[in-house]
Amino acid sequence: MAAEPGASHIPWMDQVSVAGSTGNQHHAEPSGHAAPLRDHVVREPPRRILVADDHPDNIQLLRARLEARGYIIESAVDGEDALERIYESPPDLILLDVMMPKVDGMEVLRRLKADRTLPFIPIILQTALDSSEHMIQGLDAGADDYIAKPINFRELEARVKSLLRIKALQMDLAARERELSEANDRLLAVSRIDGLTGVDNRRYLEERLHEMWGHAQRLHEPLAVVMCDIDHFKRVNDRYGHQAGDVVLKQFSQLLQDAAREIDRVGRYGGEEFMLLLPGTVLDSAVTFAERVRQDVEHHTFTFDDGELRRTMSCGVAAWPHPRISNQDALIKAADDALYVAKETGRNRVIRFDSTEFNEHTASTEEDDEVPR
């Protein structure tokens, strides 16, 4: 085959070098300078191009020309063959003939561009010289470029190089977007999680309560809140140090998480006080749950580097629907007031906010707070 005019000019040689040619280069290199530079060259793997054409002569001609430029050439003889090869191992670029048996090039093009599971694959449509209609249809269907037959190989090389640059930029952009998304996910997690215990922090817990309250209101489903507190926690820090106190908080939060269901939320409300959100849970069931957790904590031995200790917990429980609760703030206050009563009446106990014990203690406290006229 006769050499194409201009085929050995510098642009072709540049492409060979970039694509990773192993041919000898007869250039004088100043001693002590060229070799270190060569050591730092990062060579990208050769690009894979799929040539889909039902004429073997066309495939062989394109293979010879493109492989000489360092590309890896794969071939398909019809549309079905092309689709199978693409889904098996997506190439970096596709040279797609319009007129092919079984599945024509237009249909292959439409299927590939409609499939969001595939990566971006530039497609150059090969059309007959006088087939402007095919060219327009192909571009409308999503082809990234076209080239007319008979093919001008210098033009083809320029189009291939241009589209591969675009693909590289797209891949780089996608990688940066993934990195940004992952960074945002990490920041979001940090903004929602208590740094010490790993459970929800107060802000995120209140956001979830807002969502659960709205859901409960719409569907008329119950929603319970349990406020709990480690009894005499200050003594742990005073006697064993804050590091031991941190260990106790971590183990305590783990006990709460182990007892909770997947749909429940466990969070640190502040200091040694924790809050649990129990969607779909009536007041009696929430009290039963809190009592079970209280027993788990009472029988648990907290261990740390310098020793071990036992602690108890106090709980306050409230739930909606209830005549005394009209909004989510009232729900939290009711559970918090019940926790206060549990602390005031001896600790290591569960108090429901509408119990006789709660009402009597609250009434007596109000009487004590009255100022004589």
Active-site positions?
Answer: 272
Q: How far apart are the first and last CA of the chain?
A: 117
Q: Tell me the β-bridge partners of 225.
A: 277, 318
Q: Give CA separation, 115 vs 78, 110, 119, in Å.
A: 19, 9, 9
SS (H, E, C) 175-188: HHHHHHHHHHHHHH
Q: H or E element: which one contains 141?
A: helix 132-141
What span, in angstroms and rounded, lies between the C-alpha atoms of 197 and 293?
17
Non-local (6+) Cβ contacts of 66 within 8 A are: 49, 51, 73, 160
Give me the torsion for CA of 255, 258, 261, 263, rounded to 10°. 80
Q: Is 240:311 a contact under the CB 8 Å cutoff?
A: no
How many CB atoms are closer than 10 A to CB 202?
Answer: 14
Look at residues 114, 82, 121 and name the one whose alpha carbon lies nearest to residue 100: 82
Cα 370 to Cα 349: distance, rounded to the nearest angstrom? 28
Q: How many C-beta atoms surround the C-beta of residue 118 within 10 A?
A: 13
CA-to-CA distance for 308 and 299, rounded, in angstroms? Answer: 13
Residue matched to tokens 């739930």 = 319
44-to-160, 245, 339 alpha-carbon distances in Å: 16, 54, 65
